[in-house]
């Protein structure tokens, strides 16, 4: 296990009741009425049908923990401490080109690579597994009715945008099931949708609909919003991180793929009837303010020996306990910077 994995393996998620019914869960907002009528194959349809925007799922403190985790993985990738196809940092040769990607769970190729692999999941390649903190995010989204328990993600890709980085117009590959989700961090940005998205210049696009994605928001893509309308992210004005969670088609699973017991048997919790609220995501390796309200009885992973116990066991009895078109093909450029660049990073 990498140093990052060791540091993050002591995570826990519990339940505590909202004070007077006014917990963080009561602040969650869900927008599901997106509408844009466009003519497709001779008939008018709502091309945004199936899109949902959820806010208030992750607190500012949780967002910071997640961002810090991603930054650590980026550092490990630059040092060559992740599996080869996990981390990719192409050279920036023009505006909108060269964003950093970190993929977990499966190796996905955006375009034909040097080995002749077509776009899609490369079944004979391995990348690092989904890290514990990101699995906690999946659990939160399933429990809070953001993602259905019938489509629990088993892969994800992290996009790290610097200023002017973008994602060109596309429809996500059908090696992945619907729905899938994108969580935004650090800054708000726009995502464009439409059956006809125009490329006006490097990182500059136009479309019939624009949706703002606040930091911490979760965008669900399903239905027409995932399969009829294309989407893109124009050049961002400031640094941004997004994490896209997706479930692989069983026929496209990597050959060495094994289901993660931490992501099995997840179910939505009935908060309205039980009056329950999950405790914020915590990293026991760093101080976390105590909850304002008493924590309900629920077994949690905690303690200094949790890392050792997790490494000794590959199965978890309880589903509520967790351990650990114009795209460059992943791995087409060196994922590791030249030695001089690595040395420069250390000083």
Closest C-alpha among 1, 281, 240 to residue 134:
281
The yes-or-no verdict on residue 290 having pLDDT over 60 is no
Phi-psi region of 342 (alpha: psi -120 to 50; beta: other; left: phi over 0): alpha
Q: Can you tell me whether residue 299 is helix, strand or coil? A: coil
Give the mean model confidence (pLDDT) for residues 163-183.
96
Q: pLDDT above 70 covers what percent of the chain?
A: 70
The better pLDDT of the pair 306, 168 is held by: 168
Q: What is the pLDDT of residue 307?
A: 42
Asked whether the CA dihedral 337, 238, 67, 165 is positive or negative, the reply is negative
Q: What is the pLDDT of residue 282?
A: 60
Give the mean model confidence (pLDDT) for residues 312-317.
33
Alpha helices (H) in 79-156, listed in sequence order? 132-143
Q: What is the pLDDT of residue 295?
A: 32
DSSP state of 120: E
Closest C-alpha among 127, 123, 120 to residue 76:
127
| CA 248/CA 152 separation, integer angstroms | 10
Give the mean model confidence (pLDDT) for residues 312-321.
32
| CA 220/CA 177 separation, integer angstroms | 12
| CA 98/CA 162 separation, integer angstroms | 9
pLDDT in tens, 79-96: 999 998 999 998 877 777
The ranges assigned to domains in the chain are 19-271+303-346
Closest C-alpha among 203, 160, 151 to residue 178:
151
The yes-or-no verdict on residue 259 having pLDDT over 50 is yes
Query: Against a cut of 0.85, is the pTM above it?
Result: no
The yes-or-no verdict on residue 343 having pLDDT over 70 is no
Contact yes or no for 157/110 (Cβ under 8 A) = no
Lowest mean pLDDT among 131-140, 194-203, 300-309: 300-309
Q: pLDDT above 90 covers what percent of the chain?
A: 63
pLDDT in tens, 244-258: 999 999 999 999 999
Give the mean model confidence (pLDDT) for residues 318-329.
34
Give the mean model confidence (pLDDT) for residues 190-212.
96
* Average pLDDT of every residue of the chain: 79
Structure confidence at residue 270 as a pLDDT band (50, 70, 90): low
Residue carrying structure tokens 């429990």: 143
Q: What is the pLDDT of residue 47?
A: 98
Closest C-alpha among 101, 55, 63, 64 to residue 219:
55
The yes-or-no verdict on residue 209 having pLDDT over 90 is yes
Give the mean model confidence (pLDDT) for residues 135-144.
96
The yes-or-no verdict on residue 64 having pLDDT over 80 is yes
Contact yes or no for 210/192 (Cβ under 8 A) = yes
The better pLDDT of the pair 246, 26 is held by: 246
Structure confidence at residue 118 as a pLDDT band (50, 70, 90): confident
Cis ω before 179 (30° cut-off from 0): yes
- The CATH class for the domain spanning 19-271+303-346 reads mainly beta
Give the mean model confidence (pLDDT) for residues 106-135.
91
pLDDT in tens, 142-153: 999 999 999 999
Give the mean model confidence (pLDDT) for residues 329-340.
39
| CA 220/CA 226 separation, integer angstroms | 9
Give the mean model confidence (pLDDT) for residues 205-223.
98
Number of H helices, E strands in the chain: 7, 20
Give the mean model confidence (pLDDT) for residues 271-276.
51
What DSSP assignment string belongs to 182-209? Answer: EEEESS-EEEEEESS-EEEETTEEE-SE
| CA 222/CA 247 separation, integer angstroms | 13
């Amino acid at each position: 296990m990498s140093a990052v994995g060791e540091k993050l393996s002591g995570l826990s998620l519990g339940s505590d009741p909202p004070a007077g019914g006014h917990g963080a869960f009561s602040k969650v907002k869900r927008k599901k009425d997106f509408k844009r009528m466009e003519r497709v194959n001779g008939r008018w349809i709502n091309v945004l049908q199936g899109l949902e925007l959820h806010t208030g799922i992750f607190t500012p403190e949780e967002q910071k923990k997640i961002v810090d985790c991603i930054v650590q993985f980026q550092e490990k990738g630059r040092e060559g401490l992740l599996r080869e196809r996990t981390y990719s940092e192409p050279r920036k040769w023009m505006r909108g080109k060269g964003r950093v990607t970190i993929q977990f769970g499966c190796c996905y190729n955006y375009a034909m690579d040097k080995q002749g692999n077509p776009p899609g999941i490369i079944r004979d390649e391995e990348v690092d597994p989904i890290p514990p903190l990101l699995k906690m995010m999946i659990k939160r989204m399933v429990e809070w009715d953001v993602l259905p328990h019938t489509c629990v993600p088993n892969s994800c890709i992290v996009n790290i945008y610097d200023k002017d980085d973008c994602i060109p117009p596309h429809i996500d590959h059908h090696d992945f099931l619907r729905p899938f989700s994108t969580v935004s961090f650090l800054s708000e940005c726009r995502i464009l949708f439409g059956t006809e998205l125009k490329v006006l210049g490097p990182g500059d696009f136009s479309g019939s609909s624009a949706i703002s994605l606040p930091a911490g928001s979760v965008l669900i893509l399903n239905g027409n919003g995932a399969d009829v309308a294309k989407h893109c992210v124009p050049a961002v004005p400031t640094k941004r991180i997004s994490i896209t969670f997706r479930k692989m088609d069983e026929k496209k699973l990597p050959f060495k793929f094994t289901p993660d017991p931490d992501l099995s048997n997840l179910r939505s919790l009935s908060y309205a009837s039980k009056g329950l609220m999950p405790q914020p995501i915590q990293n026991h390796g760093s101080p976390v303010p105590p909850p304002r309200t008493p924590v309900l009885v629920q077994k949690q992973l905690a303690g200094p020996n949790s890392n050792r116990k997790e490494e000794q066991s590959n199965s978890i009895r309880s589903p509520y306990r967790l351990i650990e078109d114009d795209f460059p093909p992943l791995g087409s450029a060196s994922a590791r910077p030249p030695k001089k660049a690595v040395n420069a990073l250390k000083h």
